[in-house]
Amino acid sequence: MPDALQIISNAQVAYQPACLLALFSGGHDSIVSTHLAAQHPAFKAVVHVNTGIGIEQTREFVRQVCRDQGWPLIEEHAPKGWYDRNCLEKGMPGGPGQHGIMYQRLKDDQVRRVVRRHKRWRGDKVGLVTGIRKAESQRRMRVHAVPVIRERAQLWINPILDWTASDVASYMAANKLPRNPVVDHLHRSGECLCGALADPQELGWIGIWYPEAAARIRKLERQCFLRGLPHNWGRALPLEADPNQPMLPLCSDCPTRWDSDV
């Protein structure tokens, strides 16, 4: 834990961001990084991006944890109905080629909006604390192998980058942090079910535990099929890392959905 806190402090000293915002997806890695960020004097609030195509129980988990911990919560919403409209116009997204637009419209635009609101002046930076870990996947090891990354006004801080799943579990137990049942059931937070990087077989598993979420996706599949559009949610992906994959720090669940026991 001291190393993780030091990473946050070092980033604050080196870059002097306007504030620290903790990005909390509802996953266990992100609850740990949020708990760490909240201990820093520059901590301002928790940010949860509501993609509009996720499992509602995870959103409720995030809200409840923030209430219990006394963390201010900013729940930033993707454009209402955008995912459904995009599917009905272009078909269900499947594969890395479709992931960029999903990430931009469902997550990245919302983060940029939050950052703009918290900047003090032109050229200012805002610290964004994440739960990214190297051990999550080979793809992440290639793309996010440093604890601090600056992208214009966004200062991405990854304090638990070198932690293992066991480290995360131990920290949660020691600090009495609650487990998200969605993570325990699906091995992912489920805050985004866009399907661009999903295995189609996941939908059946989602349907067992969260039938409403699965039914909505299946309805969209049927509507796309009737329109003659690509209608399959998800696409099986190769296991190899993509060295050309841009930094997508809010999609840590996608490549690791069955790999983590945290």
Quick check: is 141 in a domain?
Answer: yes
Report the pLDDT value the prediction gives residue 99, as an integer from 0 to 100: 84
Range of the domain at 123: 2-256
In a domain, 133, yes or no: yes
Is 262 domain-assigned?
no
Q: Residue 97: what pLDDT?
A: 73
Helix residue ranges, H only, 119-158: 138-143
Per-residue confidence (pLDDT) for residue 145, from 0 to 100: 73
3-state secondary structure 204-243: HHHHHHCHHHHHHHHHHHHHHHHCCCCCCCCCCCCCCCCC
Determine the Cα–Cα distance for residues 71 and 130; give it in Å rounded to an integer: 16
Is 191 part of any domain? Answer: yes
d(CA 84, CA 92): 9
Which amino acid appears at position 32 of this protein?
A: V
Q: How many CB atoms lie within 10 A of CB 137?
A: 20
- Residue 229: what pLDDT? 95
Q: Which of 168, 202, 197 is nearest to 185 (CA)?
A: 202
Please tell me the total count of domains within the chain: 1
Task: Give me the pLDDT at residue 261, please.
Answer: 35
CATH number at residue 114: 3.40.50.620
68 is a domain residue = yes
Considering the domain boundaries, does residue 73 fall inside one?
A: yes
Res 134: pLDDT: 87
**Counting every residue, how long is the chain?**
262
CB environment 94-114: b (16+ within 10 A), e (fewer): beeebbeebbebbbbebbeeb
Residue 51 falls within a domain, yes or no? yes
pLDDT averaged over 10-residue windows placed end to end, the chain, 262 residues: 88 96 97 98 97 97 98 97 96 82 94 96 95 71 73 96 95 98 95 92 95 97 96 70 53 50 38
Note the pLDDT of residue 88: 97
Q: What is the pLDDT of residue 152?
A: 93
H runs (alpha helix) in the chain? 2-15, 28-37, 56-69, 82-90, 96-103, 109-118, 138-143, 165-174, 181-186, 202-209, 211-226
Asked if residue 199 belongs to a domain, the reply is: yes
Task: Please give the biggest Cα pair distance in the chain.
Answer: 56
